[in-house]
Amino acid sequence: MKRPILLVALLAGALFGAWQSAADLPYTLSGEQELTLPDVTEYRQWPYMGTSMVPNDKNNGKAIFPGIHTVYISPRALRMRREKGVFPDGTIILMENHHVNLKEAESGFGYFTTGAMDLMAAVKDRRQFEGEGWGYYLFLDRDLKAGKKLASLQPSAACRSCHQVGAGEDQVFTQYYPSLKKEP
Ligand code: HEC
């Protein structure tokens, strides 16, 4: 008699735990590890992490992700990173890659955008992903324009391998985000 009760209690605990953490997560993963397209109006209100720019004309026309990179991080993840120095499970970092379409404006010669962008994501969840626990996702501009709402997990060679080698900390290029250090 004791065992079924224990089993029910364990099951209820597991279900409640799963429900609770899924509800708290700032992203949605399907059973096949597909990422639901994050809501642009929501994540653009998240803390800003940094900007880099990788134009084609400084890379022999062949930059890997040519454009202006703007990075946002989910709010709890930034708090944990600042307080405890770690990116917790449940972190999502989003990078918009704005395509450069114009090289001259009223302010001068430079790099200007007209709205096209790819959305790149790094999700930390050690229950889902191997190694340090990061999964990488990519919504290309054409996917976004076609209304695509799910992205599949990128193969390790496409994203993780470079992040493992060059990133300052835990596969994140912390060296390029001074804003991680303290409240600006
Ligand atoms: C050849 C190296 C390289 C590859 C391959 C690469 N990245 Fe990155 N990634 C970087 C660098 C360097 C930065 C930070 C500077 C910048 O914006 O370019 C970065 C930044 C990011 C960020 C912001 C958070 C962070 O870790 O700094 C995300 C999200 C991201 N990349 C996703 C991806 C995805 C998704 C792929 C695969 C489709 C990918 N990356 C492939 C080098 C790479």
**Which domains are present in the chain?**
27-180 (3.50.70.20)
Structure tokens at 55: 């134009």
Q: Quick one: which of 89, 136, 132, 139 has its CA closest to 116?
A: 139
Atom 14 of ligand 1, nearest CA residue: 173
How far apart CA 63 and CA 56 sit, in angstroms, is 5
Model confidence pLDDT, tens digit, residues 123-158: 999 999 999 999 999 999 999 999 999 999 999 999
Q: Which atom of ligand 1 is nearest to the CA of 165?
A: 2
Q: Which atom of ligand 1 is nearest to the CA of 174?
A: 27
| CB of 69 closer than 8 Å to CB of 157 | no
DSSP letters for 15-55: HHHHHHHHHH-SS-B-TT-PEEPPPHHHHTTSPEEEEEEE-
Q: State the chain's mean pLDDT as an integer.
A: 91
Model confidence pLDDT, tens digit, residues 77-118: 999 999 999 999 999 999 999 999 999 999 999 999 999 999
Is this model's pTM higher than 0.85 or not?
A: yes
Q: How confident is the model at residue 12 (pLDDT cuts 50, 70, 90)?
A: low
What is the CB neighbour count within 10 angstroms for residue 151? 20
Atom 1 of ligand 1, nearest CA residue: 162
Q: So what's the pLDDT on residue 19?
A: 43
Atom 41 of ligand 1, nearest CA residue: 159
How far apart CA 112 and CA 98 sit, in angstroms, is 9
